[in-house]
Chains A and B, each alone.
Chain A
Amino acid sequence: MNDTQWPRYEVFQQEAEGKPVLHNGTVHAADIELALLNARSVFARRPDATQMWVAPAEQITSRTREELAADPPAAEAAGAAEAYYIFGKLAEQAQASLLGEVGAASGEAAVAAALAQFGAEAALRWWAVPAAAVLKSDPADAGPMFAPAREKTYKDQAEYPVVTMMRQLRAKANTNHKDTENTK
């Protein structure tokens, strides 16, 4: 990596209360606060967010099912346990989604704990994200961060009834055609 490149942050987003927290993409930023602001600019232009998380990519432990089968993770690690968010990619086409939280002393041990808790077959790919490394949008900022997109209904393709308009145009053309035929 070029040393002028800012670090990469993974972005997670919850579309609405009660919906899963999903991995959304990545941003680069000079620090984690700016990462959250960039994430908001890039990913919240449509009314589908109630909260957003960012986490430094380099602190995330990522393992595929194949890698885990070939090289099972060690459940034990030195040091004190801390909280990890466990994300899993459940299908090839799907984004990774939040499965839950485990306590472990390392990212690898957190993956091992996740396999025990959720089952090795639960996900195609596992991510352990140290909870302390995550910056979440402040619920108090949800209004200014996410509400503006909701009022902009003209960004919704359903606002443009072009299929109906084309049908009406064709119907009009057919009527005109018949009128011409009749007067002949």
Chain B
Amino acid sequence: MYGADVEQIAIELNEDPQKLADFEARIARGEKIEPGDWMPTEYRRQLIRMISQHAHSEVVGMLPEGAWITRAPSLRRKLILIAKVQDEAGHGQYLYHAAETLGATREEMLDALLSGKAKYSSIFNYHTTTWADNGAIGWLVDGAAILNQTMLARCSYGPYSRAMVRICMEENFHRKQGQEMIILYSQGTPTQRAMVQDAITRWWWPTLMMFGPHDADSPNSALLIRWGIKTRTNDQLRQEFVNQLAPDLQACGIQIPDPELRYDEASGNWLFGAIDWDEFWRVIKGDGPANAERMAARRQAHEDGRWVREALSAYAAKSQVQL
């Protein structure tokens, strides 16, 4: 459908063909779409869906690592982890604000998250069982996120693109502190080496799933690419990730838990085995190892913050009366 010409798409989406053609011409010229500009309803809907899911992922993403702040092995690691978790909170804020420029309200978005209607990245429904998991999250999970976000920093919607530029800069700190940790432990004591190997074994496959379903099973991709929201497909990004990580992890002496992983001279790619999509869908649909726990923690945090929201509103109302 979306390889089709603009008139056909205008009919499918019930949009004015001339406006749609002008909009697509702006994107083709590399212009950024800004709040208040004309945009197809479907463009707005897809962006709100993506940006709010992305915001939820940042916010829920604080939980697996936040659990380790009190147990960090040194003051330096503790400062780094606190700063990283604080960054995730800030990224959630950038993104909620970006979605709000499209007319979504904070309340709707939070309701959708807390009622279980909205999705967030499946990766945060796994437990962090040892300290080395924080290193694995930094190097693998944040590394995967950066590939996706570097693409989105070029996306056609101005506020999303600008939020991504800031996020990518900060995520590079997250990735590198994790990589540093894994490299050091991989050259450390036998206990440290075993801990790092165990962490990578558990996080490798869930990280590959983060890029989402194969292109053939990704119904939104064609339209998102046509409108410059995405510029690369899930499978392209996943392949680039494996190409980056496989040789580096091997150089650290870490075994990647995939017997089929091998370098293919002809394509220059690291070929990898089949992903367990049953596991992916199970976790997405709410039945991962930590889904219930994550949602319970978010609901509790929202409830605990209620008095702050009420106090801020009451103060603002009172100040306006005085004016």
Q: Is the CB of A136 closer than 8 A to any CB of chain B?
A: no
Given A5-B105, A157-B173, A173-B251: A28 touches B86 (CB 8 Å cut-off) = no
Contact A30 B107 (CB under 8 A): no
Contact B187 A169 (CB under 8 A): yes
| Stretch of A70-78, A115-123, A148-156 contacting B (4+ beta carbons < 8 Å) | A148-156
Contact B32 A92 (CB under 8 A): yes
Given A1-B105, A26-B101, A41-B90: A154 touches B30 (CB 8 Å cut-off) = no
Q: Interface size (A, Cβ < 8 Å)?
A: 39
| Stretch of A106-114, A137-145, A158-166 contacting B (4+ beta carbons < 8 Å) | A158-166
Given A8-B100, A92-B30, A95-B162: A166 touches B183 (CB 8 Å cut-off) = yes
Give 1 or 0 for each of B83-108: 1 = CB within 8 Å of chain A CB.
10011001001100110110101111
A residues sitting closer than 8 Å to B (CB atoms) are 1-2, 4-6, 8, 25-31, 34, 38, 41-42, 45-46, 62, 64, 92-93, 95, 125, 152, 154-157, 159-162, 165-166, 169-170, 173
Q: Is the CB of B159 closer than 8 A to any CB of chain A?
A: yes
> Complex Cα distance A41/B91, Å?
11
Residues of B within 8 A of A26 (CB): 97, 100-101, 159
Number of A-B contacts (CB under 8 A): 105
**Chain B contact patch, size range:** 35 or more
Given A5-B105, A31-B315, A154-B76: A166 touches B248 (CB 8 Å cut-off) = yes
Q: Is the CB of B299 closer than 8 A to any CB of chain A?
A: no
Residues of B within 8 A of A6 (CB): 313, 316
B residues sitting closer than 8 Å to A (CB atoms) are 30-32, 34, 36-37, 76, 79-80, 83, 86-87, 90, 93-94, 97-98, 100-101, 103, 105-108, 159, 161-163, 169-170, 172-173, 175-177, 179-180, 183, 187, 248, 251-252, 312-313, 315-316, 319-320
> Complex Cα distance A145/B320, Å?
26
Residues of B within 8 A of A1 (CB): 103, 105
> Complex Cα distance A170/B187, Å?
12
7 further contact pairs, Cβ within 8 A, besides A41-B90, A159-B173, A159-B176: A5-B107, A30-B316, A38-B93, A46-B169, A154-B76, A165-B183, A166-B251
Write the nearest CB–CB distance from B227 to chain A, whole angstroms.
Answer: 16
> Complex Cα distance A4/B108, Å?
10
Write the nearest CB–CB distance from A178 to chain B, whole angstroms.
Answer: 16
Residues of A within 8 A of B87 (CB): 45, 155
Residues of A within 8 A of B30 (CB): 92
Contact A165 B180 (CB under 8 A): yes
